[in-house]
Amino acid sequence: MRVLVIEDDERLGHEVAMGLRAAGFAVDLAYRLGEADLKISVNVYDCLVVDRGLPDGDGLLFLAAKRQAGLRVPVLVLTARDEIADRVSGFDHGADDYLGKPFALAELAARVRALCRRREQPAPARLTFGDLDIDLARRRVLRGGVLRTLTPKEFAVLELLAVRAGGVVSRSELIECCWDEMAEPNSNVVDAVMAQLRRKLGPPQVIETIRGIGFMIGRDSMIGN
């Protein structure tokens, strides 16, 4: 899941980005509304985190204009303006959620994850492929009843493949959804993470490589949820 954080405080923006990345999100940063507008025009995001007081305008007015133009991406407004009237104004301008500063990174990550799921097709809380049990709600993976410890990036890749079971997920889609603008599309990041993920899951392999196209988990191996 890919998130754009629009925050002019570079230190806070960096902390938010690091916290969300640690929770498994791919995160891009914009420090100005103009920069955010460009990123939104060229990337696909699952959620936006928007500050209000930005150097080139009010985040709420920016949001209202983007909604008017047809933007449907879920948006969380993150701001120190946390009076009731401010929150009401936020929702009236098109926000889906509103979180006041100061805040806990764990709560922010949970709220962003909830908003991202609204954008996706409804998915069961658990998916099972043979003896592989993926608990999407608790973000746990069991293989043969044994807990497998995955990094946030490995879980993000496995989650995308599992939710799209039966369909091929291309390398470019994996980069788009699971990595941010800091990734090098021509590097071997996908292969490296896929190799580690397969090693941790162990045999028999449930992730197939479709040569020249991408990767998939076969829907035929799905036995319930």
> Could you tell me where the beta strands, DSSP code E, fall in 66-163?
75-79, 97-100, 126-129, 132-135, 140-143, 146-148
Under DSSP, is residue 225 helix (H, G, I), strand (E, B) or coil? Answer: coil
Same domain, 54 and 149: no
Distance CA 130, CA 27 (A): 33
87 and 138 belong to one structural domain: no
Q: What is the CATH number of the domain that holds 92?
A: 3.40.50.2300
Same domain, 63 and 107: yes
Separation CA 52–CA 58 (nearest Å): 5
Number of residues written out for the chain:
225
The last residue of a domain, from among 97, 119, 141: 119
Same domain, 50 and 103: yes
What is the reported pLDDT for 163? 85
Range of the domain at 162: 126-224
The total domain count for the chain is: 2
Give residue 43's pLDDT. Answer: 84
- The pLDDT of residue 3 is 92
Distances (CA, A) of 114 to 119, 120, 199: 9, 10, 30
Give pLDDT tens digits along the chain (225 positions).
Answer: 889 999 999 999 999 998 998 888 889 999 999 999 999 988 888 899 999 889 998 999 999 999 988 888 999 998 888 788 888 888 888 899 999 888 899 999 989 988 887 665 555 678 888 899 998 878 899 999 999 999 988 998 999 898 888 888 888 888 888 887 666 655 688 888 999 999 999 988 889 988 888 899 875 555 444
pLDDT of residue 122: 53
Gap between the Cα atoms of 74 and 94, Å rounded: 9
